[in-house]
Amino acid sequence: MKFIISVFFLFLTTFAMVNAQSFAYKTLLKGVYDSDFPVIYPDNDSLIGKAVLLDTREKREFEVSHLENAKWVGYETFDLEVMKTIPKDQVVIVYCSIGARSQEIGKKLQSAGYTQVYNLYGGIFHWVNEGKPVHNQNGATNAIHPYSKTWGIWLTRGVKQY
């Protein structure tokens, strides 16, 4: 009987830890995101499949891995000139590690007249945690740049590569 009770409490503790991180991550995102800026979830394959994907992380993060067919536009070095060939009514999805930097780039795109701009909910971290694929110049990879060791706590899948 003690064994059954021990296993039960182990299960509850593990369940609570997994859900606590999820709750903590959701709370973090709620504090970072503006409520009026649209987000798109990783499971929205139909919209993601027809969108232009813009990676707003730094170049070294992008080189480790990125969403397939994403275009690197950066954050500190972002210039609207990179958008000159993209129609203003094109679906555009911006992303970064968790969505803070990408939301700021998304606001710049909206101010420039882009009408269908979405922030990828949870960024590339949530994407990877959901089991979605990432790529580098050689194809599919398990590597992910966690931005820093502090931010890396939000990555529960993939191989962290600094």
The CB density around residue 106, as the number of other CB atoms within 10 Å, is 26
Long-range contacts of 27-35 (CB under 8 A, 24+ apart): 28/98, 28/154, 29/98, 29/99, 29/121, 29/122, 32/98, 32/99, 32/100, 32/103, 33/99, 33/103, 33/119, 34/103
Residues 47 and 91: beta-carbon distance below 8 Å? yes
DSSP assignment of 17-62: HHHHHHHHHHHHHHHHS-TTS-EE-TT-HHHHHTSEEEE-S-HHHH
pLDDT band at 1 (very low <50, low <70, confident <90, very high): low
pLDDT for res 41: 97
**What confidence tens digit (pLDDT) does each residue in 35-45 have?**
999 999 999 99
- Half-sphere exposure in the Cβ direction for 94 (13 Å, CA): 26
- Mean pLDDT for all residues in the chain: 90
**What confidence tens digit (pLDDT) does each residue in 81-111 have?**
999 999 999 999 999 999 999 999 999 999 9
Q: Which residues are 93's β-sheet partners?
A: 53, 118
pLDDT for res 92: 98
Positive or negative, the CA dihedral 77, 83, 88, 89 is negative
**What confidence tens digit (pLDDT) does each residue in 19-58 have?**
445 899 999 999 999 999 999 999 999 999 999 999 999 9
pLDDT for res 50: 96
| Assigned token pair, 19 | 């859900």
